[in-house]
Structure 1
Amino acid sequence: MKYLFFLLLLFCNSIFADFSGNVIKVIDGDTVDVLTTQHKTIRVRLFGIDAPERGQPYVNKSRQFLASLIAGKNVLIKAQSQDIYHRTLGVIFYQNKNINAKMVANGYAWAYRFKNKATDESLVVLESIAKKNSLGLWSDSNPIAPWDFRKNKNN
């Protein structure tokens, strides 16, 4: 039993290992395609954040800001897990800077919440500061969180 647990732990760690690569495409404010050194393209969803959806204010500005930070750059991804769409959920670092946090701190994304619980509480603090300073999407009179937008759109 002890060996089975060790093998399972080893297997899980190898699935979500850190990796690096070049950002070849910025899909939107929270999703990019990365070309690894093994010439494999991996779609990465930035863990812990949620950027504006198509049809929302700031969708283009959010994508443009993310592109200005990492498009064409070699980044490190600390993989957390995989979502239902088979995207790698990860924290992206460029020059030792947390890009996920920069998106929230500059007002181009929300700290992601599931059932009103944030996946990363440190991002909620950054979101509060951005909101207080009316940065990015927080300069809008009534910003709607992407998860609420998606829910209302599907009703």
Structure 2
Amino acid sequence: MKAGEIMTPNPLTVVEGESLWEAADRMLAHHYGGLPVVDKGGCYLGVLEMDDLLPRPENVPGAPDVVALQLFDRWVDDHSIHDFEKIYREKKVEEVMRTDVPKLHPEDPLRVVLDKLIENLYKRMPVINDAGCLVGIVTRGDLLRLLMGRK
């Protein structure tokens, strides 16, 4: 079995130049935790994860025992959380996307898929053809369906 047989073909994507607001709206509407980012020609650029859109706990500089929330290098408190709508509407997906996610090729055998997806603890991995274009995505759900004989 190969990645091309396991993958979900033609996955929902976000396109370079779209805002984080558009991406987040699409993720929420479809109940996805992340989406591949492509250029206007459909070539793969990266992955945007919901985790990338949420504040992270960080140590406050100069006070290592104090932890606060930070989003896109800005501190977040209860009073400023609503100010981030403007940032989401202005910041583009390519500014935040992950480019270090390993890629699969449609001809990669199941062993390679398992090694990359499970050993690296990724939730989704893009399947890229020889031209560099996104042709599918393999998720943990795809693997679970396969193991349960539901693919």
Which has the larger share of helix? 1
Largest Rg, 1 or 2? 2
Q: State the TM-score, normalized to the length of structure 1.
A: 0.23
Q: State the TM-score, normalized to the length of structure 2.
A: 0.24
